[in-house]
Amino acid sequence: MEKRFMAVLMAVAMVLFLANNVFAATPGGAQVTDNGENTYTPESPQTVDVNAGAIRNADLTAEMSTYRWAGLFGNASGTIVLASGSGLSANKMFEWSANATLVFASTAGSVTWSSLAAATEAQVTTAFSHLNSGSDSYANTFTGSEALTTQTVAAGSIASAPYAITKDDTASDYWKTYALYDGANVVFAGLVVPAGHNSYNGTLSQYQMILPEDGTNTDSNPTTYNVWLELI
């Protein structure tokens, strides 16, 4: 009887230990393979002839590169592991190939994943003041909102997450970037298409997103983002 009691007691203790050591799945820090950067070159100017004493009617149009945003695109993949330790040096008991669902990017070094919610315009423009004005302001860029499915919050989705939608190589609106907030930091999330789709330049990619980058007042310093992947 005593042995049976001890066995039951040990079983209960093990259950309590496991219950108190359950960890929510959080996005993994992404390893980055940098394939280079492409920039925009504006058209050369055209000419107009004017004659003394004459008035010419000339309608003008032009394109110029944004100095408030930068783009990021490529492939996203990873593995789910049963392991101990940290990072690439962890001891792995089992490993599963996985699909990425979201790419997260933030200038913050860490994110409170369980607190993620839809960002407000004020939260984004406070963090990135250069997005307050201009034709390419935040308000003129993140013009949609919808529920975003994610494993990082208990509800399984974030209601009314604002998003910007960028184009594929046919100039069709396709790729979505969401603006989120964890209570302290702005986090951008790019929706991943595991099967791939053409990016803006025709490259078959799994994600494409835009991120704030301040190039106003001839600022040439890059903005550093930390990136994570959510896997299923």
Q: Is 97 helix (H, G, I), strand (E, B) or coil?
A: strand
Count of domains observed in the chain = 1
Nearest to 115 by CA among 164, 62, 123: 123
Is 168 domain-assigned? yes
The answer to whether residue 101 sits within a structural domain is: yes
Query: Is 12 inside any structural domain?
Result: no
Q: Is residue 3 part of a domain?
A: no
Q: Which residues of the chain have pLDDT under 50?
A: 3-23
Give the domain extent around 136: 63-231
Q: How many CB atoms neighbour CB 217 within 10 A?
A: 7
For the question of whether the overall pTM of this predicted structure is more than 0.95, the answer is no
155: left (phi over 0), alpha (psi -120 to 50) or beta: alpha
pLDDT in tens, 82-138: 999 988 889 999 999 999 999 999 999 999 999 999 999 999 999 999 999 999 999
Residue 31 belongs to some domain of the structure? no
